[in-house]
Amino acid sequence: MTDTDRKILQIVRRYFGDSMDEATVTSLDRLNLPGGAWLFKEGEQGDALYFLVRGRLQVWAGARARDEAPPRLLGEVAPGDCVGEAGLLTGAPRSAGVRANRDSLLIRLGKQRFAELAEAHPAMVLKLASHVADLMQRNLAGAPKPQRRYTTLCLVRVHDTPRIHESVENVVASLCAGRRGLALGRRRLEAAGAPVTLGADGELPERLVAWLADREDEHQVLVYLCDAHNHPWTRFALRQSDITLWMADAAESPLPSLEEKALKPAGHQALVLHHPTKREISGTHEWLESRDVDFHLHLREGEAGDRARLMRVLNGEALGLVLGAGAVRGLAELGVFKAMAELGIPVDWVGGSSIGSIVGGAIARRWDPEHAISMARESFVKGKPFSDYTVPVVSLIRGQRMVRLLRRHLDVDIEDLPIPFFCVSSRLDQGEVLVHRQGNLVEAIRASAALPGVLPPAVVDSELVVDGAVLNNLPVDIMQQQPVNRIIAVDVSFRTTRKVEFEETPSSWAVLRSRWLPFGTRYSVPSMATLILRSTEIGTLSQSRQRAAAADLLVNPPVRQFGMTDVSAFDDIVQVGYEHGLEQLTEWLEAQDAAEGGATLES
């Protein structure tokens, strides 16, 4: 019995029980699915279920058999999992499509074969039904899809420099530390016991492919080491890997070579850009415009935090911070960030909406909490951006003072931020969420915080866009698409009902009299700006609650007592966020430690 047969036996016995014999396992249909190929598409008839033996699959929505519209990633399938059982059990069309993220080996059970095995192993049907019910319950509850660590990686040296060679060795050592890991390059095969050597042309011999498959079964992490040359070894490694890391030296030319352009990975791709100094990053867009990567990370010389972030992403331990809308109340997010820093909770990815995009931009610049709070105080209290009134034709506030303040502190490109960042705005005509991942940070924030009626709309690609809170007040769903494992969301929106003490809304004159005259009824009525700001949240309130529930931790600072434009309460708002965040985060960490046997997050 081969190593592959033993692995298949181990997988199917999870569902069929120990009574499944070796002879039956060897007779099961096997399917080799190339990386990038569809196993099935949404809407197709469910005529089989599959067990993933080796490789990785992705689950997509919106990819029907005759529909070429861009699909939406729902999750991933790792070795040992089954897929397609719902369609086989119910006979309904496929509710989602499944595609190979890399070359994959599967076991296929068609209807007839399934019926035969189900008769011999009736408990299997109950296990599969339970699995389907569990998936449906998690989907209805909006639970975040589990992110698994990458187990097969390809490190491609884009440049042959000492900096890149040293970095590759450091990454390999960190990935394999404490685990059964193996790194294989063309020159390491013979020392590792490979049965054949490689030639310069042609595909890899079958004996070598089988030997490499066995090495993947034996090790918890397998790393392929390659140069950016169109060689059979490199092409094979790119097809076999869950993720390809393009290891590039920022001191070299950003243009890819012809050979690099010819290389086509099957799985995820990331550009890891190595910088020789701690100086501010610049010019990243030149590296990205000619490369189709899923994300990029920066490694600056001497910055241990950058390398730690890369390893958390690769090990499935990265943490994403989502910051919601809420005007001035959103400054409580600075206090939460301060609490996270004190507790040693690192931020690996940050996303925001409206005021959350401003706070998130400061965090993504890798400012420490005290500096971020100081800059925010200077901008919002001394700068008085909400006092920039104009004739209310398009908006109450011109917004020019806000832009000047942003340019003074945050005038960088999103691609150049040390911590990956995104923010959201709302397309005014199309009614769609626009996600800003590249371009000038100030322009992105300007769009995300363009509060309708308060600040004028922004112009992006000749379209008018307004505040992100109009369509997505708390973009946890966008963060779930990033390579993070846990998500902390900070939400400062209302969660209680406010009762008023009058039967009908008083007139403007009555409100003014109640404020100026010492006697008579005093009315507590929200200001025009507060009403406009609050109105932007109403349409997405239920969706915001669903997104908040999908986060691993929701921090909801009690800031309702503060006005939504009351910058004079800056320090009190930040302090409330800090105190509430410190309490919530401490409890969360204690629960994490208890669940993980005392494991802690490394900053």
Structure tokens at 250: 């920022």
| Cα(438)–Cα(444) distance, integer angstroms | 8
- Residue 408 has, within 13 A of its CA and on its CB side, a CA count of 12
| Cα(458)–Cα(445) distance, integer angstroms | 10
pLDDT, residue 288, reads 97
Phi first, then psi, for residue 375 (nearest 5°) are: -65, -40
What are the DSSP calls for 455-508, one per residue? SPPEEETTEEEE-GGGT-SS-HHHHTTSS-SEEEEE--S--SPPP-S-SSPPPH
CB distance 285 to 291 below 8 Å:
no
Q: Please write the tens of the pLDDT for every residue from 437-474.
A: 999 999 999 999 887 766 777 888 888 888 888 889 99
What are the DSSP calls for 534-551, one per residue? HHHHHTTHHHHHHHHHHS
pLDDT, residue 68, reads 47
CB distance 563 to 530 below 8 Å:
yes
Q: Please write the tens of the pLDDT for every residue from 190-240.
A: 888 888 777 666 678 888 988 898 888 889 999 999 999 999 999 999 999
Q: Please write the tens of the pLDDT for every residue from 300-355.
A: 998 999 999 999 999 999 999 999 988 889 999 999 999 999 999 999 999 999 99
pLDDT band at 374 (very low <50, low <70, confident <90, very high): very high
Q: Please write the tens of the pLDDT for every residue from 471-505.
A: 899 999 999 989 999 999 999 876 555 555 555 66
| Cβ-based burial of 18 (10 A; exposed 0-12, middle 13-18, buried ≥19) | exposed
- Mean pLDDT across 293-298: 97
| Cα(217)–Cα(451) distance, integer angstroms | 54
pLDDT band at 404 (very low <50, low <70, confident <90, very high): confident
pLDDT band at 66 (very low <50, low <70, confident <90, very high): very low
| Cβ-based burial of 27 (10 A; exposed 0-12, middle 13-18, buried ≥19) | exposed
Residues 575-600: b if buried by 16+ CB within 10 A, e if exposed: bbbbbbbbebbeebbeebeeeeeeee
Pairing of strands 221-227, 181-184: parallel
Global pTM?
0.82
CB distance 565 to 528 below 8 Å:
no
